[in-house]
């Protein structure tokens, strides 16, 4: 089993409900177990400003699936929940699921980069991740979670009850 951290985000079609439904689907991926879920956070959108705020969270999974097979399962969940892939990056979406960390693996493939390539600059990922992972977590690329948090202020975020 490897510990994997998944970033969840939605700003369309009842975002909190989208995340709750996605969490149930994550727990039903074969050879995978949902271990923990962070709080939900409301965050400012990246990209076009004329879109609703996002709801974000991080989930911890234990899995025996290889990375690309897990990615395929995540993309199937996105599609099942109405995700439409468009040319516009960072636009509104019903569901976004990203592999943030995959054990101690460093992955650089055309379809998947782990640690997630913008992890260090996204408070809406780092703060929920810090709820689940130890603060001295060493990422596969040598960076420490606590150092990333110190360099990424808690701006534009609101923890939801």
Q: Which of 20, 44, 80, 83 is catalytic?
A: 83
Residue 93 designated active-site: yes
- Which residue from 34, 28, 31 is spatially nearest to 6, judged by alpha carbons? 34
Q: How far apart are CA 79 and CA 68, in angstroms?
A: 16
Q: Which of 44, 62, 96, 122 is catalytic?
A: 96
Residue 3 designated active-site: no
Q: Which of 72, 80, 98, 144 is catalytic?
A: 98
Q: Which of 93, 136, 146, 161 is catalytic?
A: 93
Residue 104 designated active-site: no
The vertex-3 CA angle with 44 and 153, nearest 5°, equals 30
Residue 143 designated active-site: no
Q: Is the dihedral of CA 124, 10, 4, 62 positive or negative?
A: positive
Query: What residues contact 138, with CB distance under 8 A and at least 6 apart?
Result: 144, 145
Catalytic residue set: 83, 93, 96, 98
């Amino acid at each position: 089993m490897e510990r994997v951290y998944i970033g969840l985000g939605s700003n369309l079609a009842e975002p909190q409900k989208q995340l709750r439904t996605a969490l149930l689907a994550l727990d039903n991926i074969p050879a995978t177990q949902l271990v923990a879920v962070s709080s939900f956070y409301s965050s400012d959108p990246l990209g076009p400003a004329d879109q609703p705020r996002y709801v974000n969270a991080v989930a911890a999974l234990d899995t025996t699936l290889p990375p690309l097979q897990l990615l395929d399962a995540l993309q199937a969940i996105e599609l099942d929940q109405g995700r439409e892939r468009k040319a516009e990056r960072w636009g509104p979406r019903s569901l976004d699921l990203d592999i943030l960390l995959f054990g101690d693996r460093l992955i650089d493939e055309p379809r998947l980069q782990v640690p997630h390539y913008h992890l260090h600059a996204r408070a809406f990922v780092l703060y929920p991740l810090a709820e689940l992972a130890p603060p001295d977590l060493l990422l596969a690329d040598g960076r420490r979670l606590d150092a990333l948090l110190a360099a990424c202020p808690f701006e534009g975020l609101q923890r939801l009850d």
